[in-house]
Amino acid sequence: MSNPAVEQAVWEEIERVLGQASSARPAVLDPHLQDDLGLDSVMVIELKCRLELRYPALRDVPLSDVLSGATTVGRLAGRVERLAGLAAT
């Protein structure tokens, strides 16, 4: 389970990429980035760039490493947390 603050940050950046307010979040508990939210490849690149601004440690991490197994918002938040060095040890 990811840090709630990291998951919130990921949600905020997804909403910016999609141009939607938080009130438009799907009712799905842990939505799939492509199937439920409709993120395409260009949007995913934009999302990574936005996350790099929040978490500079991600700048040196290839997109494929950030997305490895991160098919849902929760999984992406977990990857961001680990790759940015925010995970509890």
pLDDT per 10-residue tile (average), the chain, 89 residues:
88 93 75 93 96 96 94 95 84
pTM over 0.85: yes
pLDDT of residue 21: 77
C-alpha triplet 51, 55, 60: angle, nearest 5°: 90
Question: So what's the pLDDT on residue 29?
Answer: 82
Q: How far apart are CA 2 and CA 18, in angstroms?
A: 22
pLDDT of residue 23: 67
